[in-house]
Amino acid sequence: MIGKLNHVAIAVPDLDAAAAQYRDTLGARVNPPQDEPDHGVTVVFIDLPNTKIELLHPLGDDSPISGFLAKNPSGGIHHICYEVDDILAARDRLIASGARVLGSGEPKIGAHGKPVLFLHPKDFTGTLVELEQV
């Protein structure tokens, strides 16, 4: 059901410093920041040959990333994202197998302009999983 690893998301307390570290220290191609108000984050995508890194920074007072950074002040891996061909079929199959979909269960449009869903970390060995339709 799942396809390629789309990205690894890392919550960061300082978006500019994190982007500079990937660009200047690691020599990666760093894209400009983009605000995602529906998700409460500002993101910066870093292109790698085989996947992407998504740097996440809180946007607004109700950002889910604020709580993560309160517990992890230095930042850290927030979630991993897998590609799926049909997000609704994937959701239905996961729910039928007992997995919990976060939020309303309906896909939202993610940072790539494609439908996404998040799966409860307690159902996936402590890892928050995002599915993105490709």
Report the distance separating Cα 23 and Cα 30, nearest Å: 6
Distance between CA 79 and CA 62 in Å, rounded?
18
Which of 54, 83, 106, 130 is an active site residue? 130
Least Cα distance to 64 among 134, 130, 131, 132 occurs for: 130
Task: Work out the number of other CB atoms within 10 angstroms of the CB of residue 83.
Answer: 17
Whether 130 sits among the annotated catalytic residues: the reply is yes
Distance CA 7, CA 53 (A): 5
Catalytic residue list: 130
